[in-house]
Structure 1
Amino acid sequence: MTTIKTELQALLDAVISLKPHVRDTGDTAYGAARHQADMVLTMADQQLAPPTVPTEAMLAAGVTAMANMPANTTAADVVAGVLRAGLEAGQGA
């Protein structure tokens, strides 16, 4: 399955493959292109990775979900509802 991350990695690999040409010709654009490709890949990785700590929106969604649950909700359903609300908030849903 092709994802944006695999496509960006392929782009970075293509830029890296230019290195022998650069070495032979003295082309100075390689360093700038490599830096840009590394930077784009890093930004994509950061933006596509799930959050490692809950955000304020995730916490607020969990509290709201819990507040809206009926009194007879089981503990398992409370946990599932809070987690689902937090994850959806983290994904921007």
Structure 2
Amino acid sequence: MIQLKEIKSKEYMKGTRAFRAQLYVYIGMIGFTAICSVPAYFYYMKYKAPTTQKKREDEEEDRRQRLEQLYHIQEDIAKKMELKKKESII
């Protein structure tokens, strides 16, 4: 009987050691990810984010210019249509 209890306790300890080791590995992975991601975040905010903001502003400016061009083209077409209507009336 004594041997059976010793064997069970050894197996139980093996299981808890494995669980504890796995837990340490997961905690280490989370810590490593956090340690690596913090400098990456600051690098992104310092160097990459301003360029993306500038690109976004440039795209918005281009969009505005295209809309203005389309608006002027529509005005020109409307004026030509009015002239044609006046000519057809005369």
Note whether the superposition's TM-score is higher than 0.5: no
| Greater RCO, 1 or 2 (C-alpha within 8 Å, sep 6+) | 1
| TM score, norm. by length of structure 2 | 0.37
**Structure with bigger gyration radius:** 2
Normalized against structure 1, the TM-score is what? Answer: 0.37
